[in-house]
Structure 1
């Protein structure tokens, strides 16, 4: 784009100040201000290229459109976050599974469920129950699918060395390991069960209050019942 080779002091002093903002609207205003100044001082023998002008204007319009789109998406994000927080209040009284060590208890009202999450299918998952004395009992679950898998104590069979008894005093820690016939080992995450007592709201989103299990963001919940 050609401009006048030299601008004298009188011309320079009369040029309008350009906007120093960084938004698309500010940059477009600065461009238009400079464009008017260039048109007033262009070399008549070598005028500005219209195609170049059109291309630059199109780029500024695109920038303005992207900025408006980003603003719209930010508003949608705020709205979605607000809806999630309101919906989270409906989880009070529900049971959820989050990452943590599973425990099975034979006490009345005790937890007999356990769950784990797989990042891919597994031919076999070894489930090991360890009692308070350190005695370990292992059973296998065949052909577990990717995602959350939930079972109860009664689903376990073929224990090694023998099946443990689950009476009112029994408490077992549960551990998992996954394997495939080709030797690969899918990533497995142990999940623990908790009950939602209440929901708190923070700038980072809603958090579920799980009593003795502490609090957890709703994004950390693997399964809700």
Structure 2
């Protein structure tokens, strides 16, 4: 058994108090000190090239600039988010037109919007429930290529109010069948009143009457 006598240098045995690790980051003062030492100890016959000196300064300035730019960009993003929120709040009470494939509706709640027709002529619109059953088929007449308005009263073919649930809207040109697997579907957009605005981690959402929340990026037009 080894005995350690009094007066032993514990530091020499590696038992002393450990010092806190030093930072290895190169700050502005460290960089300037290194540059000064480099200039003091350079070979007089081969002095530091001006381009090299300016290059080193540029590199350090670039790093410093990137750090400053990151802070500025974060501050700018915060300001832009606040500004966007205020602008979106001004949309409350107005009509928003959004692209849809399906939408959750209350019992008997209808829907109005528009279909992007590719040419003048008839357009067939099917309303399909969550089980894939067609509850209503409507035929519209497009006067020209572009937006063709539609309005569904929330009733089925027999005139009964439909139950609450998720409904899909499938539109095609002419007499084609919207339920066909290879159907060439047209874009359908719904119009609803903006009830409120929500700030979510993924961005701003408009809460539309009877439709729930949709991202601001999905809005095609504000009426």
Whether TM-score is above 0.5 comes out as: yes
Larger Rg: 2
Q: 1:82 Cα shift? A: 0.5
Does residue 50 (structure 1) correspond to residue 50 (structure 2)? The answer is: yes
The residue correspondences of 1:84-103 to structure 2 (distance < 5 A) are 84-101=84-101
Residues 130-180 of structure 1: per-residue CA shift (max 9 Å, x gap): 365565646445333xxxx35246xxxxxxxxxxxx9976999753357xx
The residue correspondences of 1:60-75 to structure 2 (distance < 5 A) are 60-75=60-75
The 1:152/1:117 distance shift into structure 2, 3 A limit, reads closer
Does residue 20 (structure 1) correspond to residue 19 (structure 2)? The answer is: no
Q: TM-score of the superposition, structure 2-length normalised?
A: 0.56
CA distance in structure 1 between the partners assigned to 2:42 and 2:87 by the alignment: 62
Higher helix proportion, which one?
Answer: 1
Equivalent in the alignment of 2:113? 114
Structure 1: any 5+ residue segments left out of the alignment? 1-16, 154-165, 179-185
The residue correspondences of 1:185-200 to structure 2 (distance < 5 A) are 189-200=187-198
Aligned residues of 2:115 and 2:149 also touching (Cα < 8 A): no
Structure 2: any 5+ residue segments left out of the alignment? 1-21, 128-133, 152-156, 174-183
Q: TM-score of the superposition, structure 1-length normalised?
A: 0.56
Aligned residues of 2:98 and 2:220 also touching (Cα < 8 A): yes
Q: How many residues align?
A: 174
CA distance in structure 2 between the partners assigned to 1:213 and 1:30 by the alignment: 60
CA-based RMSD of the aligned residues comes to 4.2
